[in-house]
Structure 1
Amino acid sequence: MEVLLSDAGTQMRSFIPTITPLSLETGSQLRVLTCTFDREAYHDGLYAALGMAQPAQIMGAVVKRKAEYLAGRYLCRLLLQVEGQEGQVAIGPQRQPVWPVGWQGSITHSGNRVVVALWPDRTGRLLGLDLEQWMPTATASTVQSRIILPDELDGLAAHWPSERLLTLAFSAKESLYKALFAKVGHFFDFHCAQLCAVDDLSHRFTLRLNQDLGEDLLQGKQFTGGFFAGARQLLTWIACS
């Protein structure tokens, strides 16, 4: 057993060299972990070595998907263990994470980085994370009409390059989608909400619904989230009661 544990630990350190906590919402019960992972160090045996379940939906996936799934679910398990929970986060029919009873969370990954958040599940709480690479100019011009409404970004964060502001709009709406999916229960597109405020000083943004999505999710309802703009990636989140 000692040899197995040592071997698993060595494999894990090769696959995930470091794990770092993040503080996104000061004073809240939100717990967040991030890590980078090495796709070259991934192999299918890591699931068994770490005692992690590999669902059928993942078994036939490409290596990139298998690696990011394992890294994300491993961080989920670490967060749950801190809270005295031994369960794992399963995968739902629409690929959504299925959290143990009493908990909710969010998982996001981009490139070789994963970020995972967890907090107690209470009625009305919303949680969504999204991590994106900054859009190249060519990509931004191609996808802009699918992400934002005409003139949506006018007057917002004027000193931001247009492709970076579009990346923020995209990521913020992805965070909103993840936060609302459990309540809405179906797909809704980017035009269902619009970015209406960006505050560089507080690193906050505000989204407003453009249509009704449910009884308490009516047109005009606003959601405030946060963002961290790194050199290569953008992290956005919505965590509110």
Structure 2
Amino acid sequence: MLVAILMQVALFGMTGFKSFLFTIPFALVIARLSRNRGFLLYAVVGASMLVVGGLLFFAITTDILLPSLAIRRTLFVPAQLHFWYNEFFMNNPKIYLSNSIFRLFVKYPYNMPVTRVISWAFMGRDGGPNVGLLGDAYANFGYAGMIVYTILLALFLRLIDSIASSLPRGYATAMIAMPAFCLTNSALFTTLMTHGFLLSALWMWFSAGELINRSGGFGYDGGNSNAR
């Protein structure tokens, strides 16, 4: 645990991304709550309390940091960025993954990375506003891309669900909680390859195999084994 904490602090120091500071606490809380039958209710109540707590903190201290992280950055910024991407690519050429896996087959239509294109178009300055699953899907293939990307994600989640059926629910949920959360501000393939979603699935598959081998071929036997 100490090594994991030090690694998260080091990543925060190298990148400046505040999400690294909350990764371990977030995973631990999710792991604990997911063991209960009322997990979704706890999640909704917890999120609501976080919002109310952030507002009260601001009202008492006038410090904007906590409400900015808990409310603005989590709820409003992703929605705003999705709107920007939709508005821009509704009237401009789509990317068709020409900045990614199709770069050898499709010419990229812009002279700078897409995040900078959006930044100049809506913020009037250089920046890097990343967008989530649906915004990226629309930027690449329009509404058809949103449908296809959603289907691909559903298939991947179904695969994870199948793997997680042999694991304790808390462990499986904690493994995919943060990568899944990244889908709100990262592209599907980026989340899979560089944000740990695919790596988490592979580690869960390895863990499930080890657990089955140790238990004589029956896997995890418990009331909370299913990750669904």
Query: Which structure has the larger Rg?
Result: 2
Q: The TM-score by the shorter chain falls in which range?
A: under 0.3
Select the structure with the greater relative contact order (CA < 8 A; seq sep ≥ 6).
Answer: 2
What's the TM-score once normalised by structure 1's chain length? 0.19
Larger strand share, 1 or 2: 1
Larger helix share, 1 or 2: 2
